[in-house]
Amino acid sequence: MSELSPINGHPKMASAISDRAFSRIAAIAAREAGIVLAASKVSMVKSRLTRRLRALKMSSFDDYLDFLEASGDRTEMNNFISALTTNVSHFFRENHHFEYLAGTILPHLKQKLANGGKVRIWSAGCSNGQEPYSIAMTLLKAAPDLAQKDLKILATDIDPEVLARAKSGQYFGSLTTGLTDQTIASFFTKSHQDGEDTLTVTPNVRNMVSFRQLNLHADWPMKGKFDAIFCRNVVIYFDEETQIRLYKRYANILEPGGWLMLGHSERLNESVTQLFESAGVTTYKTKQTISSPAPIGAHESKGPV
Ligand SMILES: C[S@@+](CC[C@H](N)C(=O)[O-])C[C@H]1O[C@@H](n2cnc3c(N)ncnc32)[C@H](O)[C@@H]1O
């Protein structure tokens, strides 16, 4: 939870959060998304959820929580979960994974494609899209002909706002962090929009990535297996039981020998070491497949996947 911080602005303060309301918030967050909310996070939670109250024109946390629980409104539940997590990301974040992709994984992917196979990569918790676009740019830089092959990158997030930014492929200001002049020249067009110098991802990169809304703790509609999953700086919010369940599901949806990349402060738990072997810094490979455990919450996320 170390990265939690206000996303933008200083929301008008709503009424105070009572201990009971905070307990309800923590219980919903744990049930729906396995998110751990320590009592020390109360002011962060108040600041984040005040924006949801304002959007719904409500002035009391109790009213909001009554609505959240009674209405069964999945969109608002996703907004609630999104408000409690951060969207911080940047291009080529933790660059060793992109070096590993180009140097170690790519030869396997090329071989698979040459044998008539398909390649599927999943950026799970993709935020504003910098991660999946970094994957696409890494692959295209190393092998430009991949754009014409059966290679697709699925990018999912629970938060509709970051997905809208990601789909637009438009970045400005701090959202462009991590890009070199060479990468910009190769994979972006420059323009000036709404008073901002804007970089737009080129179509050959965008065409490789499909964005979908998905709660990682709900059902997954994907049918096929993935060759690699990037799930970085996402599980940090989840309790251990939820992490283990997620890792087991990843093992099940990865090809045997498929790769899982985690964030810099995330590690596989002891209890899944029979499923994965270490393959580098926060990089793992599956050993075998297992049967899929049921998702917690078991609610379908809103929107097509
Ligand atoms: C800190 S960002 C990480 C972005 C990128 N993976 C990176 O490492 O730069 C975490 C993302 O996980 C998403 N997220 C959190 N809980 C989620 C859940 N239950 N299902 C899907 N996405 C979730 C958040 O909306 C946020 O965009």
**Parallel, antiparallel, or unpaired for β 119-124 and 226-231?**
parallel
List the residue whose alpha carbon is closest to atom 11 of ligand 1.
125
Q: Give yes or no: residues 128 and 238 share one domain.
A: yes
Q: Give yes or no: residues 113 and 79 share one domain.
A: no
- Whether 48 sits among the annotated catalytic residues: the reply is yes
Provide the domain limits for residue 151. Answer: 96-286
List the residue whose alpha carbon is closest to atom 12 of ligand 1.
125
* pLDDT digit string, tens, across residues 43-66: 999 999 999 999 999 989 999 999
Q: Give yes or no: residues 249 and 172 share one domain.
A: yes
Q: Give yes or no: residues 222 and 255 share one domain.
A: yes
234 lines ligand 1 (CB under 6 A): yes
pLDDT of residue 293: 52
How many separate domains does the chain show?
2
Q: Give yes or no: residues 159 and 247 share one domain.
A: yes
Whether residue 67 is contained in a domain is answered as yes
pLDDT of residue 292: 52
CATH number at residue 67: 1.10.155.10
- Whether 157 sits among the annotated catalytic residues: the reply is yes
Dig out the tokens for 230 from the structure: 């990037």
Contact 256, 288 (CB under 8 A): yes
List the residue whose alpha carbon is closest to atom 8 of ligand 1.
232
Q: Give yes or no: residues 52 and 188 share one domain.
A: no
5 burial class (0-12, 13-18, 19+ CB within 10 angstroms)?
exposed
Q: Give yes or no: residues 101 and 220 share one domain.
A: yes
Q: Give yes or no: residues 249 and 153 share one domain.
A: yes
pTM, entire model:
0.88
User: What stretches in the chain show pLDDT beneath 50?
Assistant: 1-12, 297-305
Q: Please state, in angstroms and rounded to a whole number, the distance separating the CA atoms of residues 222 and 210.
A: 12
Mark 58-72 as b/e (b = at least 16 C-beta within 10 Å).
beebeebbeebeeee
Q: Give yes or no: residues 49 and 138 share one domain.
A: no
Q: Please state, in angstroms and rounded to a whole number, the distance separating the CA atoms of residues 177 and 131.
A: 12
Mutate to test the pocket of ligand 1, among 127, 175, 243 (most ligand atoms within 8 A of CB): 127
Options 52, 93, 157, 249, the catalytic residue:
157
Q: Give yes or no: residues 74 and 115 share one domain.
A: no
pLDDT of residue 78: 87
- Describe the strand order of the beta sheet including 119-124 as a list of residue ranges: 209-213, 151-157, 119-124, 226-231, 254-262, 283-286, 276-280
**C-beta atoms surrounding 185 within 10 Å:** 9
Whether residue 9 is contained in a domain is answered as no
pLDDT of residue 288: 63
Contact 79, 51 (CB under 8 A): no
pLDDT of residue 16: 81
Q: Give yes or no: residues 197 and 270 share one domain.
A: yes
Residue 35 DSSP one-character state: B
Q: For the chain, what percentages of helix, strand and coil (3-state, to nearest 5) are there?
A: 45, 20, 35
Beta bridge partners of 222: none
